[in-house]
Structure 1
Amino acid sequence: MSPELHFILLLALRMAVAAAFVVTASIIAERSGAVIGALIATLPISAGPSYVFLAIDHDAAFIAESALASFPINAVTMFFCLSYVLLAQRYNAVISVGGAIAVWIALATLERLVPWSLADGLIANAIAFAICIPLFKRFQHVKMPLITRRWYDVPLRAAMVATLVAIVVSLSRWVSPSVSGTIALFPVVLSSMTFILHPRIGGPATAAVIANGGWGMMGFGGGIAVLNLTAVPLGSVAALSLALATCVVWNLMLWWLGRRRTASPSLRA
């Protein structure tokens, strides 16, 4: 088998695996309500597969440098979320999602001009969360209507995620780790969810899902920082496992705190 055919077949397999994983996770998110849906959507269900496939093709140093580039991009994604939440209150899906993606691209382009350190990324994330989290609060409490799935939902999501994986894996053979890390964090899951849900349940209800994901994005950023710090000393497999565990444990803690807060009034009564 020629090297080119081997690469194409392996790429197709990776695209299929990533697409199946993300579609399953996003369907669970839709059926779980705004809060649980947001916690699932902010897990690394798109970036995770991209990084796994990068780790198969590259060494731990490449993964660490890619994660360093991804860390400030997490702050950029927070402004993607805020832009969508604000636009969705008044505009249709095309304008709302398109406007949010334009903001992401513009900020990601500016981010590429800065030589980031881990401390710089931490400051960028802290600023983004300090701005966005308070602004999300007024948009979080919207009653979620029943969601009816359309025939094209699964193929559309699968195509979007598979395309992202193909771009990340293919370009990583020629571009720097920082470019790979930037592309890997393109908000494909958030974009696909908002684009599909917005026409069906309305902008405010879809925005509530995104607004409830603010704290989950903090755990996602923590996972990226862990990946950067542990990839070289522990190896890619252990680092990716620790990064995933960081995201999962953080979101489980948020879920537990939310349930405890909800149960407190009834306990007092």
Structure 2
Amino acid sequence: MSPELHFVLILVLRMAVAAAFVVSASIITERSGPVIGALIATLPISAGPSYTFLALDHDAAFIAEGALASLPVNAATIYMGLTYAVLAQRFSMWISAGSAIAVWLVLATIIRQFEWSLAAGLIVNAITFAICIPLLKPYRHVAKMPLIARRWYDIPLRAALVASLVGTVVTASGWVGPRVTGVMALFPIVFSSMMLILHPRIGGPATAAVLANSAWGLMGFGLGVAVLHVAVLQFGSPIGLCCALATCIVWNLVLWRIGRRKSGKAS
């Protein structure tokens, strides 16, 4: 087998695995309501496969530097969610989602211009969450979450989006370097697909509730990225990736437990 064919087959396999993972998580998200759906959506559903496959091709130093570039991009994602949540109350999907994605692209472009330290990335995230979480609070609840009727193109669309992201990140990583790769790896595929698929079906306010509930989960995701940066340098890529995933899962489980307690007290 030629090296070129081997590369293409491995790339297609990686894209298919990542797509299957994201589609499964998205289906669970749709059936779980805005709170549980938001917790699932803020797990490393698309970034996780991207970094896993990057670790197969690059050393720990590359992954650590990429994670350092990804950390402030997490802040851009929550600004994207806030933009969508506000606009979706009154405007169409194209205006709301288009404006939100444009905000992310602008912020990610600005972020890419700087070299970030771990402390600086954490500070940017802390400031962002302090600003955005109170602003998102009014949009976290809807009177009733409409039932979601899935259409034939939903799964192919999600699969195509995440497969394209993984394919682009893995292919381009060798010549764009770890900083740009880290920014690309955190493109919000899951949130974008939610906006494009759910908004026409259940309405802007209900879709906004899913994204608004994701704020606390994104905080845990940011911590997971920080853990990835530190752990891969100390223990290598496999253990570092596992530590980052464990951080996100434990954080979201704690959020779920706190939510259950509050619901129990309220009832």
Normalised-by-shorter TM-score class = over 0.9
SS at match of 1:176: helix
Alignment of 1:207 onto 2:208: yes
Hey, what does 1:51 align to over in structure 2? 51
Residues 103-122 of structure 1 aligned to structure 2 (within 5 Å) = 103-122=103-122
What is the distance in 1 between the residues matched to 2:43 and 2:58?
Answer: 23
What is the distance in 2 between the residues matched to 1:45 and 1:100?
Answer: 20
Residues 120-135 of structure 1 aligned to structure 2 (within 5 Å) = 120-135=120-135
Hey, what does 2:12 align to over in structure 1? 12
More deviation in 219-228 or 83-92?
83-92
Hey, what does 2:222 align to over in structure 1? 221
Hey, what does 2:238 align to over in structure 1? 237
Hey, what does 1:146 align to over in structure 2? 147
Which deviations, in whole Å up to 9, do the C-alpha atoms of 1:73-122 show, x marking residues without a partner?
Answer: 00111101111111111111111111111000000111111221001101
Hey, what does 2:180 align to over in structure 1? 179
Alignment of 1:194 onto 2:195: yes
Hey, what does 2:61 align to over in structure 1? 61
Hey, what does 1:87 align to over in structure 2? 87
Match for 1:257: what amino acid? Answer: I
Match for 2:216: what amino acid? Answer: W
Structure 1 residue 265: deviation in Å? 3.0
SS at match of 2:174: coil
Which deviations, in whole Å up to 9, do the C-alpha atoms of 1:19-78 show, x marking residues without a partner?
Answer: 000000010000000000000000000000000000000000000000000000001111
* TM-score normalised by the chain length of structure 2: 0.99
More deviation in 182-191 or 91-100?
91-100
Over aligned residues, Cα RMSD in angstroms? 0.6
Hey, what does 2:157 align to over in structure 1? 156
SS at match of 1:149: coil
Match for 1:213: what amino acid? Answer: S
The percent identity for this pair of structures is 68
Structure 1 residue 12: deviation in Å? 0.3
What is the distance in 2 between the residues matched to 1:94 and 1:158?
Answer: 21
Match for 2:52: what amino acid? Answer: V
What is the distance in 1 between the residues matched to 2:227 and 2:194?
Answer: 27
Structure 1 residue 253: deviation in Å? 0.3
Structure 1 residue 213: deviation in Å? 0.5
Which deviations, in whole Å up to 9, do the C-alpha atoms of 1:205-261 show, x marking residues without a partner?
Answer: 000000001000000000000000110110000000000000000000000000000
Alignment of 1:136 onto 2:136: yes
Match for 1:160: what amino acid? Answer: L
SS at match of 1:91: coil
Which deviations, in whole Å up to 9, do the C-alpha atoms of 1:113-148 show, x marking residues without a partner?
Answer: 122100110111011101110011100110211110
Match for 2:265: what amino acid? Answer: S
SS at match of 1:173: helix
